[in-house]
Amino acid sequence: MSTINNKEFKDVKDDVFIDKLEKVDTFSDEQAELDNIETTAASKAAWLIAMTVSIGGFLFGYDTGYISSVLVTIGTSLGHELSTSEQELVTSITSGGALVGAVFAGLVADKYGRKMPIYAACVVFVIGTLLQAAAFHLPQFAIGRFVVGLGVGSAACICPLFIAEISPMRYRGRMVAFNNMSVTLGQLIASGIGAGFAHVKGDGWRATVAIGGAPPIILAVLLYFCPESPRQLVAHGRMELAEACLLKIYPTSTTQMRQAKIRSIEASIHEQTGSMADESLWKTSKRIFTTPATARAVFTACAIMAISQLGGFNTLMYYSATLFGLVGFSNATAVAIVVSGTNFLFSIVNLVLVDRFGRRGILKVTVLGMAICMLIAAVSFHYIPINAKTLELTSNVTGWPAIMVLICIICYVAFFSSGVATIAWIGTELIPTEVRAVGTMLNTVTCWSTNIIISSTFLSMMKGLTPSGAFGFYACICSLGWVFVMFCYPECKGMPLEAIREVFQRGFGVRYSKQWQKENAAFAKANAKGNVNFGH
């Protein structure tokens, strides 16, 4: 670990900035012990815990993924053909339920721990699935979609947070990325099953929905064997259990290392507040908006989440079969599998790259790629003969523009999945410990509120603005997102959660984090070499 030499910064006039850099890079013996625990081999148990919790991500993906195929195969199963507004209703109402579920999970996560909201999500997943599979009328189906949304929102809020808190520093990006990969796997499997049951006579879509009831039962059983987050245990004064959890994650660590880690967590929690467990929700929420550094951290996380949703990706997940049918593909449900497959494949790419190249660098490339793809798709739609009022083709010949739209959408999904899709959830690492649950709740609420906007307006925008106008709008959002990343998103790769709070003490911390990465390059390199070693 290098120490900052003030002579190297003689041209820097801001003494406060220098002081903060020196604070990060001047280590006491206790800090050295803390660093040592992060360089010890992480256990396979840490990965098994992350994989178990990531089943919640799979549920998220499956229950948001099957609606695309259901919309084109449901027919008159609910009593009549669904209108455009009814399709938007049953699609967006899940996002509404997810918003409520995220709020619930964020409110109880600090007081009752990270596991309880996940158990609650499992219960409502099963109930919502049964309601949908047995529905013969639109109101019951819509209620089922809303109830499933409650579970989706709770899982989407807590699972990445839980994984980030149990992850060793050098694996944190990858472990949270694994959760997102589980989301994309769920979407891919949902698309495949939906395409398969599309050819089953009768109500084959009911089987597609019903299958989603099995994973939450599996998650509830396996979660019983997982420990609570060590940071949550420390917040509640359960130090022995916290040390036992750290021993499970770092099996070759010494008692001194684990005690140093606990003291670091405790100091982080008590730096600005007495105790997460005792502090009122109002006081915690107020802290976010009255503490400038905390406000900037939460805003940055929420802004990246908003970009991931408003950029238009979920229109492709929810309406991919409808969209590809619109541009002339005869087997639209099968073509939609290509989108889900691309999404899954490139989530693996992110899993491999996110801790190596960092969050900021990946976002700079991928968000710009998303903007370019949407722009080309918008231009291509201009040459496809579509009736803007009915969203039906006026000619059977679509030619190259339809192929170009398909290519652009696939490339867009590749950029999205390898970048902002995962990093938007990794963004919880930016939020200080004492407000992380509530901050993560706000991040998840941002996800689902913007998701509601997109899913409930897509078909209407296609009619009102024309397909070219709708995709041009998404291109503008992606372009604005790229500008935000360039000027406001700091690189926190390899930084301990307890140290990230320093990043936003001065502005958005882009300069500070860049200097931290430079000064700690040797330490980061040592950690990278340690990635191949696992304790048993």
Range of 9-23, 202-216, 352-366, 478-492 with top mean pLDDT: 478-492
- Domain extent at residue 488: 16-529
529, pLDDT greater than 80: no
CA end-to-end span of the chain: 27
Q: Does residue 151 lie in a domain region?
A: yes
Q: Does residue 212 lie in a domain region?
A: yes
- In this prediction, residues 137-163 reach a mean pLDDT of 91
pLDDT band, very low/low/confident/very high, at 12 (cuts 50, 70, 90): very low
pLDDT band, very low/low/confident/very high, at 140 (cuts 50, 70, 90): very high
The residue with greater pLDDT, 110 or 483, is 483
Q: What is the pLDDT of residues 34-63, one digit of tens each?
A: 456 777 777 788 889 999 999 998 988 898
440, pLDDT greater than 50: yes
pTM beyond 0.85, yes or no: no
- Are 82 and 205 in contact by the 8 Å Cβ rule? The answer is no
- In this prediction, residues 349-371 reach a mean pLDDT of 90
In degrees and rounded to multiples of 5, residue 209 shows phi and psi of -70, -45
pLDDT band, very low/low/confident/very high, at 502 (cuts 50, 70, 90): confident
H/E element, 336: helix 332-357
CATH of residue 38's domain is 1.20.1250.20
Burial 29-62 (b: 16+ CB within 10 A, else e): eebebbbbbbbbbbbebbbebbebbbbbbbbbbb
Q: Report how many helices (DSSP H) and strands (DSSP E) the chain contains, helices first.
A: 26, 4
Q: Does residue 359 lie in a domain region?
A: yes
Task: Indicate the number of domains in the chain.
Answer: 1
8, pLDDT greater than 70: no
